[in-house]
């Protein structure tokens, strides 16, 4: 209730009372006015308190709305944090699973690589000396042989480098296997004499050798003990002819030679 509406009502309400009352002593109006003034002051104080309460109520309402908004924000943050935590937990589990799978795959690869290295070393004897003595190949053979001898935890280390070594060696062997190669080599005759010979390698399947004078010839092939060269002087003219065709000293033509494949 506003004071502006109260005061006229109070003033008008006193008039009938004054009309009904008998004449009062001279000091009664003063007492009445004093009472009215006190009443008005009281009402003003009440109105002041009401206004103050309304202001405080608005402030508190604003605080309440702010706190409610903050609570909602905190709930959203908690929900996001929980979601992130759950996602992080799943991600950690995935990382652990991947790590375990990687470790198992690495162990399997290490075992397979070790078997491959040992198999390559066991077949080194099948490599002709012309290939085995090439500097690059000789270095690969040395490294693969050393890796194949590893045991225990050492056999599970350096997988990438070791795999590269054995694959490079096998690649060189495959390249040699797929072509015909002419090499200069020293070979001994049964009587102990040593000849400088031209040797034609047909991959790793067979080889034909002849000396410069064309009176001494050999046929080579691999077996379990390595490469074996057998004297075949009867083939010397044809082998010499084949060497000439290979070097370009003779025109291209077919040359027939026996071959005993392993």
pLDDT tens for 161-172 read 999 999 999 999
- Mean of per-residue pLDDT scores for the chain: 82
> For residue 3, is pLDDT > 80?
no
Inside any domain, residue 86: no
Tell me the helix, strand and coil percentages in the chain, rounded to 5. Answer: 65, 15, 20
Give residue 191's pLDDT.
Answer: 87
pLDDT for 22 beyond 70 = no
Indicate if 188 and 224 belong to the same structural domain.
Answer: yes
Same domain, 208 and 226: yes
Q: How many domains does the chain have?
A: 2
Range 201-223 average pLDDT: 94
In this structure, is residue 132 part of a structural domain? yes
CB atoms within 10 A of CB 165: 22
3-state secondary structure of 193: coil
Q: Classify residue 149: in a domain, yes or no.
A: yes
3-state secondary structure string across 93-125: HHHHHHHHHHHHHHHHHHHHHHHHHHHHHHCHH
pLDDT of 230 > 80? The answer is: yes
- Judge whether 51 lies within some domain: no
pLDDT at 19: 44
Q: Is residue 100 part of a domain?
A: no
Answer yes or no: do 143 and 201 share one domain. no
Closest CA relative to residue 242, chosen from 232, 259, 260, 257: 257
* DSSP letter, residue 250: S
pTM for this entry: 0.59
The residue-averaged pLDDT of 230-252 equals: 94
pLDDT at residue 10 above 70?
Answer: no
The answer to whether residue 55 sits within a structural domain is no
| Residue range of the domain that includes 188 | 180-247
State yes or no: pLDDT of 173 exceeds 90. Answer: yes
Residue 65 inside a domain? The answer is: no
pLDDT over threshold 80, residue 156: yes
- pLDDT given at position 77: 79
Q: Are residues 137 and 184 in the same domain?
A: no
């Amino acid at each position: 209730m506003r004071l502006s509406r109260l005061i006229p009502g109070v003033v008008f309400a006193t008039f009938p009372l004054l009309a009904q009352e008998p004449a009062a002593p001279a000091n009664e109006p003063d007492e009445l006015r004093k009472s009215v003034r006190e009443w008005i002051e009281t009402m003003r104080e009440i109105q002041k308190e009401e206004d103050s309460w309304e202001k405080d109520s608005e402030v508190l309402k604003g605080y309440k709305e702010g706190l409610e908004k903050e609570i909602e924000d905190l709930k959203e943050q908690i929900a996001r944090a929980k979601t992130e935590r759950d996602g992080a937990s799943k991600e950690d589990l995935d990382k652990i699973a991947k790590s375990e799978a990687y470790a198992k795959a690495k162990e399997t690869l290490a075992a397979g690589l070790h078997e491959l290295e040992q198999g390559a070393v066991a077949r080194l004897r099948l490599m002709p000396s012309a290939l085995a003595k090439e500097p690059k190949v000789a270095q690969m053979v040395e490294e693969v042989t050393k890796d194949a001898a590893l045991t225990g935890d050492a056999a599970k280390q350096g997988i990438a480098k070791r795999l590269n070594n054995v694959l490079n060696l096998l690649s060189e062997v495959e390249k040699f296997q797929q072509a015909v190669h002419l090499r200069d080599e020293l070979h001994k005759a049964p009587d102990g004499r040593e000849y400088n010979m031209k040797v034609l390698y047909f991959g790793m399947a067979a080889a034909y050798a002849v000396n410069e004078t064309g009176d001494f010839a050999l046929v080579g092939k691999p077996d379990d003990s390595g490469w074996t060269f057998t004297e075949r002087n009867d083939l010397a003219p044809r082998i010499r002819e084949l060497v000439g065709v290979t070097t370009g000293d003779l025109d291209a033509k077919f040359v027939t030679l026996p071959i005993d494949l392993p």
